[in-house]
């Protein structure tokens, strides 16, 4: 364990913990990361090597990011559309549906999910591939655990992430995500990646299309409807409404081209 302690000391010298809205305790954070390292090293993962990598960086005040996001209350649907830049997504859906017509048709046929709904999800989640995220999922989940924010969830997702990357021989620190650890154009968390992701390349759009369809098909079978499956993708009535609205836009714009 000497290597682990040395690594943690170097980590906290190299990555200063700034004062923040959630006021994380640097000593407690160090203890939490040490605990995490011991857990994953015992499971055979080279966790110490990962946190020694210069690409490993704690996400400053990750608790505050979640807290501030949760505090934003948007009750008006038009305001919600404005916040997510709905008009810009609507303007891009025709090109997306045209470019990936064969992939969307194939996914609809295989999984029984309307192609317009698949497009709606990818449009809302990443503006059809424009956004990949500016964080790293490993960094994000370690930071959550270090600060004690949803610690058990973060630990579970981190284990799912390491399983996924090990199976596919991926460099976990090369991945991109949201600060919440959601990845690729479909914005899957690691748990979902291990259950519904189709293919190996996270940034291959046809894989994203099939994976969204696979996810929705699973929850459509459980809930009995596409609308309820979309709600399971993100349990928000506003989110469900905006995805289905964008899907309806897709139907209209594609009818105009026929």
Question: Structure tokens of 243?
Answer: 């995805």
Residues 6+ apart with CB under 8 A from 164: 170, 190, 193, 194, 197
Instruction: Tell me the average pLDDT across 73-95.
Output: 92
As a whole number of angstroms, the distance between CA 177 and CA 44 comes to: 24
pLDDT digits (tens, 9 = 90+) for 190-240: 999 999 999 999 999 999 999 999 999 999 999 999 999 999 999 999 999
As a whole number of angstroms, the distance between CA 250 and CA 209 comes to: 15
Asked if the 2-68+134-174 domain carries CATH number 1.20.1630, the reply is no
pLDDT of residue 19: 36
Question: Structure tokens of 176?
Answer: 């991109």
As a whole number of angstroms, the distance between CA 29 and CA 154 comes to: 14
What is the CATH code for 85-132+185-257?
Answer: 1.10.530.10
Domain ranges of the chain: 2-68+134-174, 85-132+185-257
pLDDT of residue 113: 98
pLDDT digits (tens, 9 = 90+) for 38-81: 999 999 999 999 999 999 999 999 999 998 887 677 889 999 99
């Amino acid at each position: 364990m000497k290597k682990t302690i040395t690594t943690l000391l170097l980590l906290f010298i190299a990555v200063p913990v700034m004062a923040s809205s959630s006021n994380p305790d640097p000593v407690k954070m160090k203890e939490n990361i040490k605990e995490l390292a011991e857990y994953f090293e015992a499971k055979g993962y080279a966790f110490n090597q990962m946190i020694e990598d210069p690409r490993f960086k704690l996400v400053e005040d990750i608790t505050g990011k979640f807290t501030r996001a949760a505090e934003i209350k948007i009750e008006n649907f038009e305001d919600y559309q404005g916040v997510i830049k709905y008009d810009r997504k609507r303007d891009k859906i025709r090109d997306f549906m045209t470019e990936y017509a064969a992939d969307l048709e194939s996914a609809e046929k295989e999984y029984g999910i309307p192609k317009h709904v698949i497009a709606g999800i990818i449009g809302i989640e990443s503006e059809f591939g424009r956004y990949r995220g500016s964080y790293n999922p490993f960094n994000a989940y370690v930071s959550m655990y270090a600060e004690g924010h949803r610690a058990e969830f973060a630990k579970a997702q981190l284990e799912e992430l390491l399983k996924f990357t090990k199976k596919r021989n991926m460099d976990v620190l090369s991945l991109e995500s949201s600060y919440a650890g959601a990845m690729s154009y479909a914005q899957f968390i690691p748990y979902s990646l291990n259950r519904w992701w189709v293919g190996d390349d996270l940034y291959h759009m046809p894989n994203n299309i099939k994976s969204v369809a696979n996810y929705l098909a699973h929850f459509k079978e459980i809930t009995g409807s596409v609308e309820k499956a979309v709600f399971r993708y993100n349990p928000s009535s506003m989110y469900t409404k905006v995805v289905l609205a964008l899907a309806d836009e897709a139907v209209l714009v594609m009818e105009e081209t026929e």
